[in-house]
A = this chain, B = another copy of it.
Amino acid sequence: MKKYKLDVMYDGTNYSGWQMQQHSQSIQQLIQDAVRVLVREEVNVVGSGRTDAGVHAKGQVAHFRCSHAQDTQHLFKALNGMLPKDIRIFAVEEVDIGFHAQKSAWAKEYQYHLCLGPIASPFERQYVWHVPYKIDQELLKEACKLFVGKHDFRSFANAAHTGAAAKNSVRTITSIDVVPRENGLTLVFQANGFLYKMVRNIVGMVMNVASGKKELSDIQRILAAKDRRLAPMSAPPQGLFLMKVFY
């Protein structure tokens, strides 16, 4: 038995998300179908975690097992030849049979891109959240700091379809950096793991604080309440990128 790791980038605009679903086109399904054809056996392509419809990845990682050795250079070329151009495999390598794309990960980085100002560039419209109203950037940074550390993030996690997240909703965010970008800001999140919709829910909250709709003290209150209904709406998917999975 052999195991292979795939490093994957995708523009999520045209997909229902990473995870296979009935009646809609997922990135996982497209990759699995291509791998199955190339290795000539049934395979399960397992990702480091799901990304939702419209969410992008520059560093998604997946693995699959198969019964015989593969030419990784051939797989690299053939997979990129078969897949649509908004999904690219940028590395293929053989890994130890014990490697698991999800379970071996000890941390992840997500980035969320905000476009601030009256208009959003036509070239970025599918890769940013365009916020035309005024925000207080110092308040935004203060709000982000309140999420850093070990917390029970139940108030900022949507119910996952699998229900797995319900078991343990404690995660440790090691940093949230607020970095300037052209016409906006990027929020860089690193954590030992993220619950379903956690980044988008946190971004929704900090933007509510930065625009004066919520107070900084609401963050501690809502975290403590462990009740999703108290937190504001999620930020839209198109600003979110899975950047890196740490193994």
Residues of chain A at the chain B interface (Cβ within 8 Å): 9-11, 56, 76-77, 80, 85-90, 118-123, 125, 127
Contact = CB atoms under 8 A, between A and B. Distances in A.
A67 B77 CA distance: 60
Nearest to A241: B123
A129 to B, nearest CB: 13
Contacts of A118: 76-77, 80
Nearest to A123: B11
Contacts of A76: 118
A56 B86 contact: no
Nearest to A84: B122
Contacts of A56: 122-123
| Top 9 A-B pairs, shortest CB-CB distance | A11-B122, A86-B122, A85-B125, A88-B119, A9-B122, A88-B122, A10-B122, A80-B119, A11-B123
A47 B119 CA distance: 21
B85 A120 contact: yes
A121 B85 CA distance: 8
B122 A87 contact: yes
Nearest to A13: B122
A10 B120 CA distance: 11
A155 to B, nearest CB: 32
Contacts of A88: 119-122
A120 B87 CA distance: 10
